[in-house]
Structure 1
Amino acid sequence: MREPGVILMGVALLLMLGAVCFAMELPRIEAAIETQATATLADVGVRDLRIEADGRDVTLYGTIAFAEIGLEAARRAAGEPGVRSVDNRLVMAGEPNFEFGPDGDIWLLAGRLPTPESRQELFDAAAAIVGQGNVIDETEVDAAVTEPPWIPTLPRLIQLLRQVHGGPGLRLRDGTLTLTGHTSSEGMRDRLEFDVGEIAEAAETGWMIANEMVIAPVAVNRVAQNRIRRLLREQPIAFQGRTDALTDDARTAIAGIGELLDAFSDTRVEILVRTDAGSDPDDDRLLSIARSESIREVLSASVHPDRLLAFGYGSDGPTDEGGDGGGRGVEFRVLHRP
């Protein structure tokens, strides 16, 4: 009569022994699954990948730049030997963002960046312009932020603000780079917008460029500006055909402007150039910029380059305020330093 009971007890003991053995073996099985799955997913593109196995059930943690990466990671993990199910908890990463500009008497730098190195480089660029003690750094390093190929361009963009008088700023958010703050002239604002666009395009960022910068003009030095206009009426600045090469007479005229400006050391000068309309507006813009730089190069022999801003508007652009500039598409604006 006791034989069935003995058999049942023996079965129970065997089951208990199996359960104990499985419990002792489970950590090794989980560790093996985690190790193998981590190796399999190493090249998928998951940032800060972490895999946790609970028995044969696997959970994925980390950040991804695209949904397709998450799908591929889950597919590979599900195909690992011993894996029963996959809980995909990978999260989409955001792109870096930042804002730099004046805030009262100081400058505020804020945003989210992917690495300590990228954060430090951005701060160093800001401090180089306004001084380390004048920057309040509220940037954060966030593991959920991607590190796109264009991340090294951010410090270069901030460095462009060095050439702009006033309180210029930049804001990058949701794929739009916006010029903010204020400056003292349209020429400076437009030159900054052009240079920012050139860097963004070269880095293939795909950003939209927006301009919210306010013009807070400074006083024009009418005496110096009127003297330059009279000089240009007598000897206009001309170029050799449709190129940026100055004629000899143009170089002589520019030298005369340099001598004139020597008596007005408390000013800065904007060289604004327009061209006749050609077949391509983009070519017109590039030609006018090259021509303005040619004038700046010659004028910098007698006027410090830091006092000179050169920009070209192509076949569009502001008219010469106060009358005909006499330079056939070349305008000089002489402004008091703010």
Structure 2
Amino acid sequence: MALSGFDIDAPRWDQRTFMGRLWHFFSITDFRTALVSDTRLDEAKMLVHSCRAGTVPPGTSKEQLYYAKKLYDSAFHPDTGDRMNLIGRMSFQVPGGMAITGFMLQFYRTVPAVVFWQWVNQSFNALVNYTNRNAASPITPKQIGVAYITATSTALATAVGLNLYTKKAPPLVARWVPFAAVAAANCVNIPMMRQQEILNGIAVTDENGNKLGHSRNAAIKGITQVVISRITMAAPGMIILPIVMERLERYRFMQRITFLHGPLQVMMVGVFLVFMVPAACSLFPQRCSMAVSKLEPELRDSIVSQYGDSIRYIYFNKGL
């Protein structure tokens, strides 16, 4: 089968629909790709670049090309093409997130435990947010440090404050404190880590990828969608699992194996995340759009003066 004209960048699934995006993110957030060696990832990148150049190696099948693109999308940044650090990849969200979230849900009773696990979680989130930023807007080490400290402080203040406040509340309420802290921190961590996009705008293009300028309004829309996605990603496991554990711990057999409660919660969080990571990433299109009428006046006027009414929507990478 001739594959010289194969468009490897054409979405395998319709990205205009939630189900199409879900299948796409099931593919690129597959935690098994986190185990693939750097050598194999670089080979996949070379194959993707060869296909883009129209020089597919003889004997290459379409499935091999799809798999190479899966590895490429899972490990290389869409803006820079550079290989992302392992821990920051979305494909590492399941193993990394299940361990940290499971222990946050298990060790919520004492202030030192709350402080430690919230710090670990925010360190992990900061790396994920930096890795999946819109790389067209560079951020300085100082800004990264401020974002990290601010988000961590927010999470700790929320977690410790609520932990003390809920001492006399029903046990289940106390179990939900980690989620409240995670949600609050996400509302700070992501905008702070991507503050350059809000301050200077992100690159926006027309439907064909031609650059039109930079928009702060587009950045705010993209970052807001990412915040909603991240909170949605964590919500089911961190809200439903405490209810499950609260009921299970009433049984005598669970009271005899308290040392297994932590590992059990880690595994159950993993089950949630296997589905919730791709589902949350699929809530909004990766290639986000915005009506020209909703852009800043100066950018909107510039586009209208050059193109008239021929361009009604602009497009940009919202990040993950």
Q: TM-score range by the shorter chain?
A: under 0.3
Higher strand proportion, which one? 1
Select the structure with the greater relative contact order (CA < 8 A; seq sep ≥ 6): 2
- TM-score computed with the length of structure 2 as normaliser: 0.24
Higher helix proportion, which one? 2
- TM-score computed with the length of structure 1 as normaliser: 0.23
Work out which of the two has the higher radius of gyration on C-alpha atoms and give 1 or 2: 1
